[in-house]
Amino acid sequence: MDFKQLQSLHMTAETKIVHLVMDGLGGLPREPGGKTELETAHTPHLDALAGEAQLGLAVPIGPGITPGSGPAHLALFGYDPVKYKVGRGVLSALGIGFDLQPGDVAARGNFCTVDDQGLITDRRAGRIPTKVGQQLVTLLRDIQFPEVEVFVFSEKEYRFVLVIRPTAGQTLFANVQDTDPQKTGVPSLPALALDEESEPTAALINAWIAAAREILKGHEPANSVNLRGIAQDPGLPQFQDVFGLKAGAIATYPMYRGVAKLIGMDVLPVQGEEVEAEVEALRAHWSDYDYFFFHVKKTDSAGEDGDFDRKVGVIEHVDETVIPAIMDLNPDVLIVTGDHSTPAVLKSHSWHPVPTMLWSQTCLPDGATSCGERACARGSLGVFPATDELPLALGYALRLNKYGA
Amino acid sequence: MDFKQLQSLHMTAETKIVHLVMDGLGGLPREPGGKTELETAHTPHLDALAGEAQLGLAVPIGPGITPGSGPAHLALFGYDPVKYKVGRGVLSALGIGFDLQPGDVAARGNFCTVDDQGLITDRRAGRIPTKVGQQLVTLLRDIQFPEVEVFVFSEKEYRFVLVIRPTAGQTLFANVQDTDPQKTGVPSLPALALDEESEPTAALINAWIAAAREILKGHEPANSVNLRGIAQDPGLPQFQDVFGLKAGAIATYPMYRGVAKLIGMDVLPVQGEEVEAEVEALRAHWSDYDYFFFHVKKTDSAGEDGDFDRKVGVIEHVDETVIPAIMDLNPDVLIVTGDHSTPAVLKSHSWHPVPTMLWSQTCLPDGATSCGERACARGSLGVFPATDELPLALGYALRLNKYGA
């Protein structure tokens, strides 16, 4: 059912939905025959909820596809991430917490190494340390042009973000090709406008690159730059219009706050980095919203670090701290899930479907006794697209009218 | 696989398929931790069949979406109800058993109350009793125009059906907007043609409404009318063309007989309202058809009334009476399902997926010992779109050729 059809079914209700996303929740056993991180964790509160809930495995993008954080979250928010694309430049800008405005043009930048003839010898400039990247970015901030404001921020190591903001009332378009040829031994490509209206943007970007190369001369290995994913805020359908839910986002990391902002969620202030602070934000704003996106980052960080035990510990902490606090608020629907899997043994995001639990007074419980991947694989939600979570939540929250007579 | 591709695979066979639809079959427990209506019912015949069958949960429209009866049945018949829309006027006309002809324009009507200035004060005319609605409809039948025949029938309470039939060989089009503004304190909208060819229809409808208002003067609270869902027989692909099955529909309620007729099924005569009479119809026509749609209404009625025990009783009666009778006829495929869930505790249709059992000599049994929702949630059909049931039935009935070499 597309957004327009779903909109036509909206029904007003006083019900509240909490979408608890433990980033990178899904995992794998440390040894053959063993348990995953979630299965290993001692989670009495989640297990008790599982007994009253429906379980399943959510597929973020598609079978076998490992999601990035941006598309994975769009899927959880009900947006098909293959249809609703957000450019890499925009995701990078959101990821560093930049307050991207509609009309801004953002690009992901990479420092690189070129030889005397301008041929690329290292696309990542020897993976310079973040500190060096930051120093170079400071130099690049001197490049400015009339009628636009240019922002440059270091992301990590050899990666940076470039944002060009029109300041003279003009409109910039961002249909401009990457300059990164994706191989060495060749020169960088010029920033090529793919339509006529993007030509002024391409000209600005080429001028910026030329100036950057001048500044970076002698700063080997980072003596040149490439730009990728030149993009603008894609103007996504707004969450409240699509789902009829006033939405508050509780997240401490810029990327997730940024994606929530792109679709018009209110990003709530959180006083600290810990889940306890996020719980406080949930309590403080409970009466103000219909839907809460509650993001837990550290499951993913532990998985990315390959730290199985730390990931187990984060899950146990959420079970002890977050779950009882949410249930004390009497939500009508609680979905506990992840945006993707990050098995500690893989030290990276993975394609494995994500253990998911849907709890509601109106659900027909599977009667499970635990909430791990194997319990979810036997659950009544089956293996389902993550984009189903929002429509399911609306149904269970009694917020949709009947379709047809 | 779309209809055209499916058609290209048709294979002639002597096999017979029975699609037993217990309306609103799916349910919920009466108390936390309890059993659903189907799980509570003593169903030795269904349980025995379950041991030789494959189970699953069917999703009628989409996740979280509560289906109306029309779209839910189209899905069971293999038609994507979001793609193949049937207007509300047509469903209302079918629901009262009107013999709708291609070319007829049908609308759902509501009596309403307007004040001195013509502003709507009650969109449902104080929910006048059905008897009053019937008396007013009799008055409205006096409104007639040249070159068309106008039919008006009371549906229930403040609801009625209007049908305009061209009688002079002309063609009417029905792309005409609702007159119901969906709120009070404003006047009704005119019936606005949304394309040029629908203008004659809009003119007729506006003239009919004006005449109706004259007649209804002084009949407060029902002193005006609104029309919604102005529509025609959508000319759906015909069931026999799509699936290669000669189909007989056995149903006692007009709506289901009407939907079956829309897709070209033969609607079989049934001598009475009880399932025993439907079984007689099945026996009498067994040799005439490849596919039988067998509809049981009273599961849904009991659910809508919130009568858990009565719904259990209807299921038990079907188990005792209908199932053995069907199996005595030696079908090749029997699907037992519902069009949607109607949990007695919710007293209404719901979005919960529908317990479904597919029995065939060629199926690989799950080995279940019962056929309730939780058994179906663990079944090998998984959670699947209801539109899959017909293609599955064709496969198990050995009625489809191999796809590709």
Q: What is the pLDDT of residues A144-198, one digit of tens each?
A: 999 999 999 999 899 999 999 999 999 999 999 999 999 999 999 999 999 999 9
- The CATH number of the domain holding residue A24 is 3.40.720.10
Identify from A335, A380, A388 which residue to disrupt to test chain B contact, counting B C-beta atoms within 10 A and taking the largest count: A380
Residues B350 and B273 in one domain: yes
Closest CA relative to residue B369, chosen from B40, B54, B39, B50: B50
Residue B388 lies in a domain: yes
- Cβ-Cβ contacts under 8 Å, A9 against chain B: 65
Candidates B66, B68, B70; nearest CB to A395: B66
Task: Report the run of H or E that residue B5 belongs to, with start and end.
Answer: helix B3-7
CA dihedral A29, A30, A31, A35 (to 10 degrees): -40
Residue B401 lies in a domain: no
Which residue in chain B has the smallest CA separation from A2?
A: B82
- Cβ-Cβ contacts under 8 Å, B61 against chain A: 1, 403
**Alpha carbons B306 and B348: distance in angstroms, whole number:** 8
Task: Report the run of H or E that residue B268 belongs to, with start and end.
Answer: none
B181-237 tens-digit pLDDT: 989 999 999 999 999 999 999 999 999 999 999 999 999 999 999 999 999 999 999
**Of B197, B213, B231, which one is at a domain's C-terminal end?**
B231
State how beta strands A382-385 and A53-59 pair.
Answer: parallel
Closest CA relative to residue B189, chosen from B123, B131, B126: B123
**Of A231, A253, A287, which one is at a domain's C-terminal end?**
A231
Identify from B66, B161, B183 which residue to disrupt to test chain A contact, counting A C-beta atoms within 10 A and taking the largest count: B66
Residue B278 lies in a domain: yes
Look at residue B405 and tell me whether its pLDDT is greater than 90.
no
Residue A219 lies in a domain: yes
Q: Which residues, at least 6 apart from B266, have a Cβ–Cβ distance to it below 8 Å?
A: B246, B247, B248, B249, B289
Angstroms from A102 CA to nearest CA on chain B = 33
Q: Provide the ipTM.
A: 0.89
Tell me whether residues B373 and A364 touch, CB distance under 8 A: yes
Residue B132 lies in a domain: yes
Residues A143 and A257 in one domain: no
- Residue whose structure tokens are 């929002």: A390
Range of the domain at A361: 3-84+237-396
Task: Report the run of H or E that residue A51 belongs to, with start and end.
Answer: none
Residues B169 and B222 in one domain: yes
**Of A206, A231, A256, which one is at a domain's C-terminal end?**
A231
Which residue in chain B has the smallest CA separation from A388?
A: B63
Look at residue B156 and tell me whether its pLDDT is greater than 90.
no
Q: How many domains does chain A have?
A: 2
Identify from B383, B387, B388 which residue to disrupt to test chain A contact, counting A C-beta atoms within 10 A and taking the largest count: B383
Residues B95 and B64 in one domain: no
The mean per-residue pLDDT over the stretch A11-29 comes to: 97
Angstroms from A345 CA to nearest CA on chain B = 30
Tell me whether residues A364 and B351 touch, CB distance under 8 A: no
What percent of chain B has pLDDT above 70? 100
CB-based contact, A383 to chain B, within 8 Å: yes
Does residue B253 or residue A345 have the better pLDDT? A345
Residues B11 and B96 in one domain: no
State how beta strands B159-166 and B354-360 pair.
Answer: unpaired
Residue B405 lies in a domain: no
Residues A275 and A370 in one domain: yes
Residues B44 and B110 in one domain: no
CB-based contact, B363 to chain A, within 8 Å: no
Residues A121 and A221 in one domain: yes
Residues A76 and A128 in one domain: no
Please tell me the predicted confidence (pLDDT) of residue A323: 98
CB-based contact, A332 to chain B, within 8 Å: no
Residues B268 and B368 in one domain: yes
Tell me whether residues A405 and B374 touch, CB distance under 8 A: no
* Whether B18 contacts B295, CB under 8 Å: no
Residue A110 lies in a domain: yes
- Cβ-Cβ contacts under 8 Å, B95 against chain A: 405
Scanning B127-186 for CB atoms below 8 A from A yields: none
Residues A155 and A241 in one domain: no
The mean per-residue pLDDT over the stretch B386-394 comes to: 98
* Whether B39 contacts B341, CB under 8 Å: no
- pLDDT confidence band for B356 (50 / 70 / 90): very high
Look at residue B95 and tell me whether its pLDDT is greater than 90.
no
* Whether B49 contacts B371, CB under 8 Å: yes
**Alpha carbons B359 and B323: distance in angstroms, whole number:** 12
Residue A145 lies in a domain: yes
A126-143 burial: b if 16+ Cβ within 10 Å, else e: bebeeebbeebbeebeeb
pTM of the model: 0.91
**Alpha carbons B11 and B394: distance in angstroms, whole number:** 9
* Whether A157 contacts A130, CB under 8 Å: yes
Identify from A335, A364, A366, A396 which residue to disrupt to test chain B contact, counting B C-beta atoms within 10 A and taking the largest count: A364
* Whether B232 contacts B105, CB under 8 Å: yes
What are φ and ψ of residue B285, in 5° steps?
A: -110, 10
Residues A77 and A122 in one domain: no
- The CATH number of the domain holding residue B171 is 3.30.70
Q: What is the DSSP string of B56-111?
A: EEEESSSTTPPBPHHHHHHHHTT--TTTS---HHHHHHHHTT--PPTT-EEEEEEE
Q: Is B330 left (phi over 0), alpha (psi -120 to 50) or beta?
A: left
